[in-house]
Structure formats: C-alpha cells, structure tokens
C-alpha cells in the first residue's frame, strides 16, 4: 500500500506575531515543529505499513525551512519526502492549499492519504476534507482508531459529539487523524542518520501548474479575506469570592448573573 501523509510545520510557541497588512503569521525567528495531529497521522501510516507492507511518503507544503520537518518524519520511518514549495504558493488559504496539494499528490500517486485533523496555527480542519473533495475520493474525518485494514478497504472509528461512528471505506481514500489515533514514536539514531542521507524532492509551480486553478492559488487567489487579525489577549482575574458558605456562594453567583442580565 502506498500511503501519503500530509504534514505542516507550525510555530512552537503561543508568542506569535501577525503581519497587519496580510493577516498571515510572521514565522521568522520562531521555532517550528510538526503539527501534532499530523505527527499522529505519520505514526498511524507507519503502523499500517508494518501491517500491510508498502511505503509511507510524507508531503509538506511550505517554505524551504519546512525541510526540517520532513527530515524528522523520515527519521521516524517514512520512506521518502516531498516539499511542495514555490513563490506562487505563498499566502495560500485552505482552499488554495488543498488545490495545490491535490496537484502534488496526483503526481506522486497513492492508495491512501492521511492528514491531521487541523493545524494549531489555523484550527480550521478544512484542508484534509477539501483535498479529498478535489481528488474525488471518499474520506473519513476525526479518525480515532483503525479497526481493520486491507489493501481494498479500512474500517475506522470516527469520533463524534455524542458517541462514535464505525465506518468502512474503500481505498483510495483520505483519513484525518486526531491525537487519540496513535502515540507518535521517537526518532531512532539510525533513522536520523539515514534521514540526512535521503533526498527531499521538491515539487514546484512548473511541475504541477497544468493541474491547478491558476487564479485560485497564493495570497491573491485565496477566497478567504482576513478582515482583522490580532494576537490573543489575557483575560482579567475576575471576581474572587472567599470564605463563603455554600449558601452564600450560591446567592452571590446568582446575584452576579442577575446583575449581568444572564438570568
């Protein structure tokens, strides 16, 4: 089975800065990591490879420094890696990103695609499902467990608000992974050495332009318009009530709620 895992390099800090003109993150000088849900997807793919055989290919769209994340994935056990990178792709929103990734994975070939549920620097949970739609393949989001896997189909547990769904899906397909799906393994010493001996292939604009919606890539081609961007502000400490009995505490809370017209 040929499995592709799409990963994203994200800032490893809450102290992020935002470009007020473009509404995009300023990544210069900020340490980065593999997005955690994506790393869970890597582990799930490696376990499927160990069970069924085949290969695991890791793909990341981003600037040249995303190569660090790809080498970490190789050190975990992935077989090969592709960096999807070009100036034309810069500033892409989720719709544009999914279109570019669709063009990339078509050139690579796949039996299954695994993505993380969402990235911690965006929290949209849109790229995975959009990618599946653009490839016209079935998808299951919020995958918590793989019950059964063959070359022809997989049976998975999908997390749901009031319980879970058990879904059988034919390959080729796309799954989005949540943190509960797998515990990512550590890089091995041998894996690290081999990772830096492997070539990271680059897929650029010229390689996939014939399969793209050229007016729907990059910042100018992204349909999402950022009205306003701002960093998260700390909330005040609020009102602290001390040394009250249970009855007094309940009465005080009710009074506060009445004062604010909540009740």
Please report the DSSP string for 213-248 in residue order. Answer: -GGGSTTTT-S-------PPPPPP------S--HHH
| 108's tokens | 């690579």
Q: Answer yes or no: are the C-beta atoms of 131 and 115 closer than 8 Å.
A: yes
SS3 13: coil
**CB under 8 Å to 39, separation ≥6 — which residues?**
7, 116, 184
Domain residue extents for the chain: 2-216
The token duo for 213 is: 């919606």
Q: What is the pLDDT of residue 174?
A: 98
The single residue listed with the structure tokens 């680059």 is 202
pLDDT, position 238: 76
* Eight-state DSSP code of residue 6: E
Could you read off the pLDDT tens digit of each residue along the chain, which spans 263 residues?
999 999 999 887 655 666 666 666 666 667 789 999 999 999 999 999 999 999 999 999 999 999 999 999 999 999 999 999 999 999 999 999 999 999 999 999 999 999 999 988 877 899 999 999 999 999 999 999 999 999 999 999 999 888 899 999 999 999 999 999 999 999 989 999 999 999 999 999 999 999 999 999 998 889 987 666 666 666 776 778 888 899 999 999 999 889 888 88
Nearest to 69 by CA among 84, 55, 54, 52: 84
| N- to C-terminal Cα separation, the chain | 58
211 secondary structure, DSSP code: G
DSSP 118: -
Alpha-carbon span 22 to 24, nearest angstrom: 5
The fold for domain 2-216 equals Rossmann fold (3.40.50)
Amino acid 160: pLDDT: 87
pLDDT value for 225: 76
């Amino acid at each position: 089975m040929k499995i592709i895992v799409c990963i994203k390099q994200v800032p490893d800090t809450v102290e992020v800065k935002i470009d007020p003109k473009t509404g995009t993150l300023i990544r210069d000088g900020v340490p980065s990591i593999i997005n955690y849900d994506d790393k869970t997807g890597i582990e799930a793919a490696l376990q499927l490879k160990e069970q069924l055989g085949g290969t695991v290919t890791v793909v990341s769209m981003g600037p040249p420094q995303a190569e660090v994340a790809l080498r970490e994935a190789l050190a975990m056990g992935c077989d090969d890696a592709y960096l999807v990178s070009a100036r034309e792709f810069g500033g892409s929103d989720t719709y544009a990103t999914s279109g570019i990734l669709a063009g990339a994975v078509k050139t690579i070939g796949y039996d299954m695609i695994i993505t993380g549920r969402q990235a911690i620097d965006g929290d949209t949970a849109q790229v995975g499902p959009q990618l599946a739609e653009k490839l016209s393949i079935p998808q299951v989001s919020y995958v918590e467990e793989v019950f059964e896997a063959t070359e022809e189909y997989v049976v998975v547990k999908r997390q749901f608000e009031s319980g879970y769904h058990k879904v059988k899906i034919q390959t080729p397909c796309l799954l989005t992974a949540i943190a509960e799906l797998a515990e990512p393994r550590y890089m091995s010493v041998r894996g690290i050495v081999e990772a830096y001996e492997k070539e990271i292939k680059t897929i650029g604009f010229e390689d996939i332009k014939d399969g793209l919606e050229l007016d729907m890539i990059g910042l100018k081609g992204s349909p999402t318009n950022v009205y306003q961007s701002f960093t998260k502000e700390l909330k005040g400490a609020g009102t602290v009530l001390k040394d009250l009995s249970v009855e007094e505490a309940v009465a005080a809370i009710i009074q506060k709620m009445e004062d604010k017209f909540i009740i």
